[in-house]
C-alpha cells in the first residue's frame, strides 16, 4: 500500500463541509445558520468518534470489496437513512400516523416534528443504549482478548471468573434491562430495549457462525456497522433539535459529521492506527459504555449532548496518550 498524505482521506469531507456551510449561509439563514451547521457537525463527530474506531476494527476483518461497499453505499444510508428517514419511521410507528404525514410534518413544521420525536425518545434511547451496551459487554468479557488496558478492572479475579460464564454479556444486559424496565414503568421502553438486545444477538450470532464455518459474510458485517452507526447517531439526531428546528440545517450539519466519521474510519484502516495505538479500541469501547449509560439516564432526564460527546473524547484521548507512552517504553526496552 503506497503512502498517501493523511489529509487526502479528509479532502472530500472538508469540501462537503465548506459547501454545507455556504448553503446554510446563503439559503437557510445567514451567519447563524452556518454556525449551527458547523456546531452540529462537531457534535456529530465528537459523539461518533468512537464509532469510527469500532468501524475500523470491523472493517479490518472484511474484504476490500465490502470495505468499498461500506463507503459507497454506507454514506447515503448513514446520511439520509439513519439521520433523516429512521427518526421519521420511529415517530410514525410510535404515534400511529402515516410516514408521509410525518415526513410532511418534518419538512413543514419542524418544531412540532421535534416535539413528536421527543415524545418517543425514551424508546429510542432504550434501543440504542441496549445495542451499544452489548457492543461493550462482548468486548469486556472476551476471554481471548490479548491486549489489556485497565488491568485492575479487566483482569481481576472476579472479572476473570465471571467471563467464564457462557453468554455472560447477554445475562448482564438482561439484568440491566429488568432494572431499567422497573424504573421506567413503560412497556414501550422495555420492548425497545430487548429488541435492541435481540437484534445485536441475532447479527453477532450469524456472524460468529459464519466465521466458524470458514467464511465471513460481508452482508452481515455491513448490517452490523449500519445498526451500530444508527445507535450512535440517535443521540445526535435528537440533540440536534435543541440547536435548530430547521430540518435542512440539521440534516446538513449531521451529514457533514457523518462524512468526517467515515473519513476517520478509512484513515484508521489504511494507516493501521489500531495496531499502532493498541489501547485506542479499549478507549472507544469504554466511551461506548458511557454513551449507553447516558442514553439510559436520558430516558428519565436530559443530559447535555456536549457532556456526552466530551466524555467520550476525553476517554479516547486518554487511551491514545497511554498507547503512545506504551509505544515509547517498548522502543526503549
Instruction: Give me the pLDDT at residue 203, please.
Output: 80
pLDDT for 60 beyond 90: no
pLDDT for 209 beyond 70: no
Opening angle at CA 12, ends 10 and 13, nearest 5? 65
pLDDT for 49 beyond 70: yes
C-alpha cell at 270: 489504511
In angstroms, the CA 110 to CA 102 distance is 10
* Arithmetic mean of pLDDT, 87-93: 78
- pLDDT-based confidence at residue 2 (cuts at 50, 70, 90): very low
- pLDDT-based confidence at residue 287 (cuts at 50, 70, 90): confident
How large is the greatest C-alpha to C-alpha distance in the chain, in angstroms? 65
Of 208, 215, 210, the C-alpha closest to 142 is: 208
pLDDT for 211 beyond 70: no
Residue 75 near residue 223 (C-beta atoms within 8 A): no
- pLDDT-based confidence at residue 15 (cuts at 50, 70, 90): very high
pTM (2 d.p.): 0.79
10 CB-near residues (< 8 Å, 6+ apart) = 260, 263, 267
Mean pLDDT of the chain: 83
167: region left, alpha or beta (phi > 0 left; psi from -120 to 50 alpha): left
Helix, strand, coil share (%) of the chain residues, nearest 5: 85, 0, 15
Instruction: Give me the pLDDT at residue 322, please.
Output: 92
* Arithmetic mean of pLDDT, 149-177: 89
State CA 200 to chain mean position distance: 14
pLDDT digits (tens, 9 = 90+) for 111-159: 788 788 777 888 888 988 898 899 899 889 887 788 888 888 888 888 8
* Arithmetic mean of pLDDT, 73-96: 77
Residues across the chain: 333
Q: Where do the structural domains in the chain lie, given as residue ranges? A: 7-332
- pLDDT-based confidence at residue 171 (cuts at 50, 70, 90): very high
Amino acid at each position: 500500500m503506497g503512502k498517501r498524505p493523511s489529509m487526502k482521506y479528509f479532502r472530500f469531507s472538508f469540501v462537503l463541509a465548506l459547501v454545507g456551510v455556504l448553503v446554510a449561509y446563503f439559503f437557510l439563514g445567514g451567519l447563524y445558520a452556518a454556525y449551527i451547521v458547523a456546531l452540529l457537525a462537531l457534535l456529530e463527530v465528537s459523539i461518533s468518534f468512537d464509532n469510527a474506531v469500532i468501524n475500523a476494527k470491523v472493517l479490518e476483518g472484511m474484504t476490500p470489496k465490502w470495505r468499498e461497499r461500506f463507503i459507497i453505499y454506507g454514506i447515503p444510508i448513514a446520511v439520509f437513512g439513519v439521520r433523516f428517514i429512521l427518526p421519521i419511521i420511529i415517530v410514525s410507528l410510535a404515534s400511529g400516523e402515516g410516514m408521509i404525514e410525518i415526513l410532511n410534518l418534518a419538512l413543514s413544521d419542524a418544531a412540532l416534528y421535534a416535539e413528536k420525536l421527543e415524545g418517543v425518545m425514551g424508546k429510542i434511547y432504550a434501543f440504542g443504549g441496549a445495542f451499544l451496551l452489548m457492543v461493550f459487554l462482548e468486548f469486556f468479557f472476551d476471554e481471548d482478548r490479548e491486549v489489556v488496558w485497565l488491568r485492575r478492572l479487566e483482569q481481576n479475579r472476579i472479572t476473570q471468573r465471571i467471563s467464564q460464564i457462557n453468554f455472560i454479556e447477554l445475562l448482564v444486559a438482561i439484568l440491566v434491562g429488568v432494572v431499567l424496565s422497573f424504573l421506567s414503568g413503560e412497556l414501550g421502553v422495555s420492548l425497545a430495549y430487548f429488541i435492541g438486545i435481540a437484534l445485536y444477538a441475532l447479527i453477532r450470532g450469524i456472524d460468529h457462525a459464519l466465521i466458524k464455518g470458514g467464511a465471513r459474510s460481508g452482508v452481515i458485517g455491513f448490517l452490523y456497522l449500519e445498526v451500530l452507526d444508527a445507535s450512535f447517531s440517535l443521540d445526535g439526531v435528537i440533540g440536534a433539535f435543541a440547536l435548530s428546528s430547521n430540518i435542512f440545517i440539521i440534516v446538513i450539519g449531521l451529514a457533514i459529521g457523518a462524512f468526517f466519521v467515515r473519513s476517520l474510519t478509512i484513515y484508521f484502516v489504511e494507516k493501521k492506527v489500531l495496531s499502532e495505538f493498541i489501547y485506542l479500541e479499549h478507549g472507544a469501547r469504554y466511551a461506548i459504555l458511557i454513551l449507553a449509560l447516558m442514553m439510559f439516564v436520558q430516558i428519565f432526564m436530559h443530559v447535555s449532548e456536549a457532556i456526552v460527546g466530551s466524555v467520550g473524547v476525553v476517554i479516547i484521548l486518554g487511551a491514545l496518550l497511554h498507547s503512545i507512552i506504551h509505544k515509547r517504553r517498548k522502543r526503549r526496552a
